[in-house]
Structure 1
Amino acid sequence: MAGPTTAERGERQQGSSGPPPPPARRLRPPRLRTAVALAVVLLLLAAGLGWVFYGSGWLRVERVSVSGTRVLTPEQVRRTADVPVGEPLISVDTEGIETRLRQKLSRIGAVDVVRSWPHGIELKVTERTPVLIVQKGRNFIEVDREGVHFATVSQAPKGVPRLELSVSRSGSAAASLRRFGEGRLVREAVRVAGHLPAAVARDTRAVKVRSYDDISLELDGGRTVAWGSGEKGARKARALTALMKGAPGARHFDVSVPTAPASSGS
């Protein structure tokens, strides 16, 4: 059997004469003592922070401030909120306080409960604003822009029109009541009140609802406005403004079809 050729022997000798490959670098694991020390530091830090927030007297509730009230008093809001004074500030249930305020004080439309470090809780209140009132006996029920009946007062707020819901229980009005429901009709009246021009809103004494398509206004001086439905409110407002400018002595206005407004009487 023939042995390796001269060329093969040369290649083997050349390959074996080179330096050996460097050894692979091995990653050293972190030293156990360092890892234990780091873990102890982290535990101590967590325990210290927990004590600062929950156990110490440095970050506890000492004051409750109220802002945004108009009809309600700050003391009413503060008493209803029942913020746990003396408790750790971080543990105060802000969502629970918000829910409690909205449920027990219906005049509050929105409230924001904010932690004011290091010792305070801020109650930022937004009260509902009446856009209509409903007379009930000697009292008045306030209705906001969402159609919510939110408060009963003994005196009617100035500049807020009455809502007169006089829907017949027979005929087309009854069908309108069955289809839309009283709540929807109230919201339509609110919708109309929201579209009134400022000058007209100041003179409006009542918004009368007989059906979804039959809403009218009673103004100062015995003047009336046939508005129709709550739809196309902006166009109806512009038409009414133009009518009143063109016929300042008129007593009756009809903008139920805003493309064909009309006025009459003097």
Structure 2
Amino acid sequence: MAGPTTAERGERQARQDPDSGPPRPPLLKRLPKPRRLIILVVCLALLAAGCLWVLYGSQWLRVERVSASGTRVLTPDQVVEAADVPVGSPLISVDTDVIEARLRRKLPRIDSVDVVRSWPHGIGLKVIERTPVLVAEKGGKFIEVDAKGVRYATVSRAPKGVPALELTVSRSAGLRRFGTDRLMREAVRVAGSLPAAVARDTRTVKVRSYDSISLELSGNRTVLWGSGEKSGVKARTLSALMKAAPEARHFDVSVPTAPASSGS
């Protein structure tokens, strides 16, 4: 007599083992949808609370060190001290905008600064200092002026290689019209437009009026520049003129379309 078939044996085993059969879905999927939603919301809330605690409440992500880079005249210690970063506070809570504003206010020599978080424990201060294009003497001291016309520092010794600014403006209608600050900005515009070779040789930028700016170069050479208008064109014209007349001592680019040079 033939024995039970494979299908019959499977049916018999299924009756004997009530837990057998197709796999059931996970417990969460078997719950009603409203309850599933509540559990999901609770889990997300717990996760968010945990993240907030790690960022603000734990000791893992707090400010432990502050560093400064990019300084030339200033020292890193001066920058760090002026920044006054709250060491020990949560790194996420440091207001970088406030620190940037504080540094520019306390240290006018700083042109720009980028305050960056260096996870997990650091704050980095990336500084760009102002570069003087002119220096003005006053009372035995020297005032550094950058390419934006900002007078940002007073030093006891003039920086090397920076032209001196000489304002010899009379109390005329021109001065009342333009003012000392405007004339200084014009001088800065001229100094900032000079070709590199000419800038290295420039000793003094003289301003007598808005339309009368001149340069004193090494070797007793002079340049009549005129106003600060069209300074880029005048700079190119001066370079060409100096190449064409290397022995000349006096150059006139006040009208760049009609330049002139002379040897005496």
TM category (shorter chain) comes to 0.7 to 0.9
2:53 pairs with 1:51: yes
Measure how far apart 1:187 and its partner are: 1.0
Q: 2:247 maps to what in 1?
A: 249
Matched to 2:192, the amino acid is G
Question: Deviation per CA, 1:106-128, whole angstroms, max 9, x where unpaired?
Answer: 00010010111111111010100
Q: 2:106 aligns with which of 100, 104, 114?
A: 104
Count how many residue pairs are aligned between Structure 1 and Structure 2. Answer: 233
Hey, what's the Cα distance between the residues in 2 that align with 1:204 and 1:31? Answer: 82
Measure how far apart 1:248 and its partner are: 2.3
Matched to 1:80, the amino acid is A
Question: Deviation per CA, 1:151-185, whole angstroms, max 9, x where unpaired?
Answer: 0111111110001111110xxxx222222222111
Q: 1:38 aligns with which of 30, 37, 40?
A: 40
Hey, what's the Cα distance between the residues in 1 that align with 2:98 and 2:159? Answer: 32
Question: Deviation per CA, 1:36-65, whole angstroms, max 9, x where unpaired?
Answer: 212211221111111100111111111111
1:198-213 equivalences under 5 Å are: 198-213=196-211
Q: 3-state DSSP class of the match of 1:183? A: helix
TM score, norm. by length of structure 2: 0.85
1:116-131 equivalences under 5 Å are: 116-131=118-133
Question: Deviation per CA, 1:4-45, whole angstroms, max 9, x where unpaired?
Answer: xxxxxxxxxxxxxxxxxxxxxxxxxx6332222122112211
Measure how far apart 1:147 and its partner are: 0.3
Matched to 2:73, the amino acid is V
1:184-203 equivalences under 5 Å are: 184-203=182-201
Matched to 2:248, the amino acid is A
Q: Identify unmatched segments of 5+ residues in structure 1.
A: 1-29
TM score, norm. by length of structure 1: 0.84
Question: Deviation per CA, 1:71-112, whole angstroms, max 9, x where unpaired?
Answer: 000000000101111110000111110010000000001001
Hey, what's the Cα distance between the residues in 2 that align with 1:243 and 1:61? Answer: 59
Q: 1:19 maps to what in 2?
A: none
Q: Identify unmatched segments of 5+ residues in structure 2.
A: 1-31
Q: 2:96 maps to what in 1?
A: 94
Q: 3-state DSSP class of the match of 1:131? A: strand
Q: 1:236 maps to what in 2?
A: 234
